[in-house]
Amino acid sequence: MAAVVAYSSYIVLQVRGLRRLQSELADRSRKNSLQLLRVENDLNSLALAMRDMLDAGERYPLTAWLAQFERIHSDLDDALRREEQVALMQHSAEQREYLRAALNQFWEATDRTFTLAKSGHEDQARADIRDSLQARLAALSTSVARLLVQNNEYEEQAGARMEEIYNRVERQVYVFLAATLAAILLTSLYVMHANRQLFTQLASVSEQRSDLAQKLIATQESTLHYISRELHDEFGQVLTAVGAMLGRAEKHTSEDSPLRADLREVRDIAQNTLNSIRTLSQALHPVMLEEAGLESTLDWYLPTMEKQTGISVSYEKSGKAFPVRGSKAIHIYRIVQEALNNIARHSEVQQAWVRFRFLEDALELEVEDHGVGFSKHDRRQGIGLVAMRERAELLNGSIEFVQPPESGTLVRLRVPREADESDA
């Protein structure tokens, strides 16, 4: 880029200089031609004056033309001086000396002619005009005409040189552009090759990350399922047995015994603990997902979540329902669970909306709150958001996190409807 800028600046300066030189040459050529035409016009005026002076019917004496000759003499000297200043080419010393000598001789002869006329020898003066002055004037006119031709030739040569310079600059620009394009092409090919390798590595890493995420999610679900079953079966059975034993012990205790009240209190504690374990077991892995499906599980989970967090959840369902079971139901349930947990932990509001839409070709889920939303300055995603994205990929669906007009966060999940669900 630096080379392109530097070369472009150089070319611009060169072209500007050429344009300025071309303009100056054109201006000097115009001025030079004007001065030569001025000289030629003065010579023509002298020729016309001498023609009138030789006219036999002319009534005026020759001395009457003296003032006109002096004025033309002065104008000729001024025109020649200006022509020398603006001439495109400096004439050779011989040409300049010849022109000046011819002019001096012409004016000397003119002075002699007017001297004869003043002394009364007008016939002899007219003979000098006819024999000498007109010939000298013709030679001067020829010399000036030759200068005009030389000036035009030099102007044409200068134009040809300018055109050659422009063509050379144009060729250099084309060569530079070709070299620049070649460099850009080679650089682009290298960048494309490097990017292709990088994208291949990224795709491999992404695939490995996706596999790892799927394995982690599968391990998580397996662990939660195991813990849920152990809590429900082992601890639940133990607490059920403890409650039954406490109930039998209470029946064998007299009504007025203080031990009966203690046994009843311990039995209530055991029952509350059993209820908590069952609730925790359902939260870790709801058995309802396998037995009743996703829709019924959400009908149970949302009120339970309201009681646990104090957040009011508005639940809306629309469309013709179809059964959602298996791993698909588990992933959607986990996404709803994670979204609501994020609202409880971070949104700083007590209101949330859950919308469940059964469409002809997809299942759409939205979880919305009008809380603080995502920070604009901290875009780091927690493991929960990453897990939600991975679960959406496992479902061959899409998930997006947007900010609604009222602020807050809107989680939108769209899962395509499978053939077995359409046939159900």
Q: What is the mean pLDDT of residues 268-293?
A: 75
Residue 364 has pLDDT above 90, yes or no: yes
Most confident of the ranges 85-94, 123-132, 154-163:
123-132
Phi-psi region of 407 (alpha: psi -120 to 50; beta: other; left: phi over 0): left
> 106: closest CA among 79, 78, 82, 128?
128
Most confident of the ranges 33-37, 211-215, 311-315, 402-406:
311-315
Q: What is the per-residue pLDDT for 59?
A: 65
Phi-psi region of 349 (alpha: psi -120 to 50; beta: other; left: phi over 0): beta
Q: What is the per-residue pLDDT for 282?
A: 67
> 294: closest CA among 318, 317, 324, 326?
324
Q: What is the per-residue pLDDT for 195?
A: 92
% residues pLDDT > 90 (the chain): 13
Task: Express each pLDDT in 219-265 by its tens digit.
Answer: 776 777 677 777 666 666 777 777 778 777 777 777 777 777 777 78
Q: How confident is the model at residue 93 (pLDDT cuts 50, 70, 90)?
A: low
Residue 413 has pLDDT above 90, yes or no: yes
Task: Express each pLDDT in 173-196 by its tens digit.
Answer: 888 888 888 888 899 999 999 999
9 vs 37 pLDDT, higher one: 37
Phi-psi region of 293 (alpha: psi -120 to 50; beta: other; left: phi over 0): left
Average confidence score pLDDT of the chain: 81
* DSSP β-bridge partners for residue 356: 317, 365
Q: What is the per-residue pLDDT for 277?
A: 76
Q: How confident is the model at residue 365 (pLDDT cuts 50, 70, 90)?
A: very high
21 vs 302 pLDDT, higher one: 302
Q: What is the per-residue pLDDT for 309?
A: 87
CATH code of 287-423, in short, is: 3.30.565.10
4 vs 386 pLDDT, higher one: 386
Most confident of the ranges 50-54, 257-261, 380-384:
50-54
Question: Which tokens hold the place of 151?
Answer: 């000036």
Q: What is the per-residue pLDDT for 377?
A: 41
Q: What is the per-residue pLDDT for 354?
A: 94
Task: Please say whether the structural domain 2-184 has been given the CATH code 1.20.120.
Answer: yes
Q: What is the per-residue pLDDT for 91?
A: 53
Per DSSP, the three-state class of 350 is: coil
Cβ neighbour number for residue 262 with a 10 Å cutoff: 13
Domains 2-184 and 287-423 share a fold: no
% residues pLDDT > 70 (the chain): 88
Which DSSP letter does residue 56 get? Answer: T
Q: What is the per-residue pLDDT for 415?
A: 92
pTM: 0.48
Q: What is the mean pLDDT of residues 356-383?
A: 77
Domains in the chain: boundaries: 2-184, 287-423
Q: What is the per-residue pLDDT for 268?
A: 82
Helices (H) and strands (E) in the chain, counts: 12, 5
Q: What is the per-residue pLDDT for 374?
A: 67
